[in-house]
Amino acid sequence: MCIWRSGMNPSLRLLKRLYPYRGPLTWALHACLVALAYTGAYALRFDFAIPSDELRRLVATLPYLVALRPLAFQSFGLFRDYWRHVGMRDLVNVTAAVTLGSAAFVLILLLSGQVRGMSRAVLMLDWLLAIFFVGGFRFAIRISREATSFIRARAPQGKRAFIIGAGEAGEQLLRQLSHDKRQQLRVVGLIDDDPDTHGRSLHGVRVLGGVRDLRRLVAHHHIDLLVIAIPSADRAQLRRIVDRCAETRIQYKILPPLQDLLAKRAEIGQLRDVQLEDLLGREPVQLNLEQVEHDVAGKTILITGGAGSIGSELARQVARFRPRRIVLLDRAENTLYFVLVELRRAHPSLEVVPVIASITNAERMAQVLRTYAPDYVFHAAAYKHVPLCEANVTEAAWNNVVGTLRVAEAAARHGVKKFVLISTDKAVNPTSVLGATKRVAERVVLELPYLAASGTDFRAVRFGNVLGSDGSVLPLFKRQLAAGGPLTVTDPEVKRYFMTIPEAVQLVVQAAALPEAGGRIAMLEMGEQVRILDLAEQLIRLSGYVPHQDIQIEFTGLRPGEKLEEELLASDEAAHQTSVEKIRVIAPTVGDPTGLRRGLSRLVSLMTLGDDAGVLRGIAALVPEYVPWQGSAAAEAVAIVPTTGQVA
């Protein structure tokens, strides 16, 4: 060791500088392979009886080749390669490096005058043998390692598994599992619906059959785990595969979706449980958020309802676009604290301000906007549970209508550039207090003249049910499932539009940046509505149970205010295309601004009195299309609205 550090002679010191990656041992190995190839070329050319003059030529010219070829190897990075993972690209590099070395060798021979009498067959054989020895040595190391891994993989240890999908992803997963000692899986077969693959082998593992044969094959081979390795499968294909997996009554996992693999948010070996979001009736919407980043960077963003499921996800996504400051406003102290901690940990350089406040407090809203001077306000705070709003009419109207009015007025007064109201499809032809109050909120931000004249860009975003949001059907189903059932569904035919939380928030931030959405309602193309019954059955299957057998589903009947199906557009509304393919905008209908102001003023007075029936009549006067449930208290109250459209 001391020779290399101090007493190194000049030639060895030069070699150390020339070959810094693997040291003299790697250089010596490659020099030996080069010498072996060159000697072998002479031996083959002269039938292993090399004449004395050719032997002298070999000895005289070999040092040139031994010096030149490793230099070429280094220039192509061969000394930096991981030989255990060598592939076709490495073989191409070896060929190019050997060719470069051969060309340099011939040039040296020309310059030194030794090329005369040199056998061209020797040069060609040397080129071929050098590629064979240098490349073959690398592949031999990989083959020996994979043979060891294959023997280990075939050993009777770990869970016996099938990989569903014998395509590119299945091959990569199989190879990774054979290399990763941490994976306690023994892949004993592949499953693929392509009949051309049946009976073939991939890395020594046979394709045993199609998905329709899964139940029989699982029983025959005593399988413990199924791995779905088809990241490109659409929702219909995935549902069919999941249904077959569920029939086997054993555990199953899935690779991350293709978009996560391509974006490097996940790796091929990161198996996870199948999520209900994977099985929605349409493909997830991926919006281009470059415009959003340009729009949000350096701005101060205020998010009301910042501790809720939508508000907190909105804060997470906005934080990625490098805003100057995020102000999170909510009444819920505990959940606000946890969102604050999460954001500060994920974005330590971002200023995150927690504000505990009620949106119905006009003075507090004015103080907050005066203090933090937000550029944008995302208004996500609202009461959103249909039955609770039906039972608490005044409080629902106070929060959803007056709260929106107070925040919007403060935004207009304090120079906010954009105000985005988060609305709901329940505001279209509403049958519930929730839907009617959200429709009034839409009218507030889009139709009040003094708000429109303020210079603040008011806009709204309307979307369907958000899968997994606080109080939505999915968390309820999961709690019921954890208790052993039954899962409760209001009606076998009830349907809803569903979005994932990230989809909903992407729509909000994209709509905020979209020039065409100013003064309008933006909505996402939602595809087909999903039956809640199908959702419940899929969740039961994903949990390893059989619907209506292991876990029961009970039908409780529609509750007051609920519809069988939701709508995205009212009869007098028209959706227009925008520059973003999946987003449409709806121009607000021309209303009576004076009547709207008087109606709001009267509604506030009735709420102050706590007159629920009067509040319902006031809401109905502002939303003529509001049709409460027949026979409900709301219907009785609304029935006596004067025909003039004014509040009684």
Which residue ranges form the domains of the chain, and what is each CATH number? 9-149 (no CATH), 156-274 (3.40.50.720), 290-464+499-523+575-590 (3.40.50.720), 595-638 (no CATH)
Is pLDDT of 376 > 90? Answer: yes
Q: How confident is the model at residue 283 (pLDDT cuts 50, 70, 90)?
A: low
Name 625's Cβ contacts closer than 8 Å, sequence gap at least 6. 429, 430, 439, 570
Q: DSSP label at 398? A: I
Neighbour tally for 605: CB within 10 Å? 14
Pairing of strands 495-496, 530-531: antiparallel
Q: What whole-number percentage of the chain has pLDDT above 70? A: 82
Q: Give SS3 for 106.
A: helix
Q: What whole-number percentage of the chain has pLDDT above 90? A: 26
So what's the pLDDT on residue 14? Answer: 44
Averaged over 237-261, what is the pLDDT?
76
What distance lies between CA 269 and its chain's CA centroid?
A: 16
So what's the pLDDT on residue 19? Answer: 40
Q: How confident is the model at residue 280 (pLDDT cuts 50, 70, 90)?
A: low
So what's the pLDDT on residue 286? Answer: 60
So what's the pLDDT on residue 359? Answer: 96
Q: Record the pTM.
A: 0.66
So what's the pLDDT on residue 275? Answer: 66
CA distances from 107 to 30, 68, 97, 506, 614 (A): 21, 11, 15, 62, 101
- For 533-579, the pLDDT digits (tens) are 888 888 887 777 788 888 899 999 888 888 888 877 777 777 888 88
Averaged over 413-442, what is the pLDDT?
93
So what's the pLDDT on residue 444? Answer: 94
Averaged over 133-145, what is the pLDDT?
69
Token pair for residue 226? 């199924």
- For 11-34, the pLDDT digits (tens) are 444 444 444 444 567 777 778 888
The side-by-side arrangement of strands in the sheet containing 351-356 is 351-356, 325-330, 300-304, 376-379, 418-424, 457-463, 521-524, 583-586, 575-577
So what's the pLDDT on residue 279? Answer: 63
Is pLDDT of 581 > 70? Answer: yes
For the chain, the first-to-last Cα distance in angstroms comes to: 99
Residues in the chain: 648
Name the amino acid, one letter, at 356. Answer: I
Is pLDDT of 177 > 80? Answer: no
Give the separation between CA 183 and CA 175, rounded to whole angstroms: 12
Please list, residue by residue across 528-554, b when 16 or more beta carbons sit within 10 angstroms of its beta carbon and e when fewer do: ebbbbbebbbbbbbbeebebeeebebe
Q: DSSP label at 305? A: T
- For 158-173, the pLDDT digits (tens) are 688 888 888 888 888 8
Give the separation between CA 473 and CA 497, rounded to whole angstroms: 12
Sign of CA pseudo-dihedral 479, 485, 490, 495? positive
Is pLDDT of 151 > 60? Answer: no
**Helix orientation angle between 23-45 and 52-75, rounded to the nearest 10 degrees:** 140
Q: How confident is the model at residue 622 (pLDDT cuts 50, 70, 90)?
A: very high
- Locate the DSSP E strands across 265-375: 300-304, 325-330, 351-356
**Closest among 465, 402, 478 to 437, alpha carbons compared:** 402
So what's the pLDDT on residue 148? Answer: 56
Is pLDDT of 599 > 60? Answer: yes
So what's the pLDDT on residue 441? Answer: 95
Name the amino acid, one letter, at 584. Answer: R
Averaged over 61-67, what is the pLDDT?
86
- Of residues 176 and 21, the one with the higher pLDDT is 176
- Of residues 382 and 637, the one with the higher pLDDT is 382
Helix or strand run (H / E) with residue 464: none
Sign of CA pseudo-dihedral 370, 373, 377, 379? negative
So what's the pLDDT on residue 86? Answer: 59
Is pLDDT of 79 > 70? Answer: no
Please write down the HEC assignment for all residues of 118-138: CCHHHHHHHHHHHHHHHHHHH
In DSSP notation, 163-175 reads: EE--SHHHHHHHH
Averaged over 115-129, what is the pLDDT?
85
- For 459-497, the pLDDT digits (tens) are 999 877 777 666 678 778 888 888 888 999 988 998 887
Token pair for residue 245? 């997996």
Contact of 153 with 188, CB cutoff 8 Å: no
So what's the pLDDT on residue 458? Answer: 94
Q: Which residue has the tokens 């294959």?
A: 150
